[in-house]
Amino acid sequence: MALRTYIVPTLKALFVHALVIAAFTFNWDSDSDKEILPQPRIVQAKVLTMADPIAARKEAARKKEAARKKAAAKKKSDAKKKLDAKKKTDAKKKADIKRKADAKKKLDAKKKADVKKKADAKKKADAKRKADEKRAEEKRRQQESERKRQKQLARETEQREQELADALADEFAQEQAEDDAIAAQSYQGLIRQRVMESWHIPLSARHGMKAVLRVNLLPTGEVINVSVVKSSGDEAFDRSAIQAVRRVGKFEELQQLEPRVFDANFRSFNFLFKPRDLDR
């Protein structure tokens, strides 16, 4: 390779010397022909010295090694820059990923907290609703129980009051019935006395004869009808009994009676016609 380096300069030098020789030869021939030729251009030749091939090879090798080292250093520097840039990019990506992961984690935690908060609120609301429903149901049962108790108490009270009223009514009715019976008996005796006083004893009347008459009166005591329910067996006796009632015509004393006593005893009643003072 060093030999090739010196070939080109050597060839150039030989070429220059050849031109110089040719020029001298040409000028010589021109003088013999008596022709004036232009002056040739003077070329300054340089003598090249041959360098030491070994030193040249070493210098070339040194330069090549220096260039290689420089290229290697540049390549290493570029690789380092590229690596640093990649590391920076990776770090940025990693930081972005971590930031996004942290943000997602925070968002997930917030969502989870919100879900838990809502679940707790719902659970609390459900518990409160159940407690309210239980209290309301208990209150309703108590009210229903109290209503039934009050109803039962009212029923028992009403029953006792009714029983007392019935007892009082029975007692009053019994007392009234007794009073009415006494009053009725009193007026029955009065009616008997009045009828006997108006009776004309027939010749056929005998001791022990009796007839049952049906007497109908108005509240004023007026006789409106008399009939025989059970005959004495003697027509004259029966007829005299009817005439005796008709002769009285009206029992004014009955107007003093209570309507219920009159209606119960004297509006329509059977009268036993049985004289006691017959001797025959």
For residue 118, what pLDDT band results from cuts at 50, 70 and 90? confident
Q: How many CB atoms lie within 10 A of CB 59?
A: 13
- Of residues 206, 192, 214, the one with CA closest to residue 234: 206
- Confidence (pLDDT) at 231: 94
Which residues lie closer than 8 Å to 225 by C-beta, 6 or more apart? 214, 215, 216
Relative orientation angle of helices 2-32 and 53-197, to the nearest 10 degrees: 130
d(CA 247, CA 268) in angstroms, rounded, equals: 18
- Of residues 204, 206, 225, the one with CA closest to residue 214: 225
List the alpha helices (DSSP H) in 33-52: none
- Confidence (pLDDT) at 6: 58
Model confidence pLDDT, tens digit, residues 90-114: 778 887 758 887 778 887 778 887 7
Mean per-residue pLDDT, 227-256: 93
Model confidence pLDDT, tens digit, residues 5-48: 557 677 777 777 777 676 666 554 444 454 555 665 665 655 55
Model confidence pLDDT, tens digit, residues 165-199: 777 777 877 887 887 788 788 889 999 999 999 99
- Confidence (pLDDT) at 111: 85
Place of tokens 């990649």: 86
Which residues lie closer than 8 Å to 61 by C-beta, 6 or more apart? none
- Confidence (pLDDT) at 213: 94
- Confidence (pLDDT) at 25: 60
Q: How many CB atoms lie within 10 A of CB 198?
A: 14
Instruction: Say if residues 181 and 237 touch (Cβ distance below 8 Å).
Output: no
Going from the N-terminus, what domains does the chain have, and what CATH number goes with each?
Answer: 2-88 (no CATH), 198-273 (3.30.1150.10)
Model confidence pLDDT, tens digit, residues 128-162: 998 889 998 989 888 998 989 998 988 897 888 88
- Of residues 47, 64, 44, the one with CA closest to residue 2: 64
Instruction: Write the Ramachandran bin of 208: left for phi over 0, alpha for psi from -120 to 50, otherwise beta.
Output: left
- Confidence (pLDDT) at 274: 87
Residue 237, exposed/middle/buried by CB under 10 A (0-12, 13-18, 19+)?
buried
Instruction: Say if residues 271 and 212 touch (Cβ distance below 8 Å).
Output: yes
Which residues lie closer than 8 Å to 17 by C-beta, 6 or more apart? 45
In this prediction the pTM is 0.42
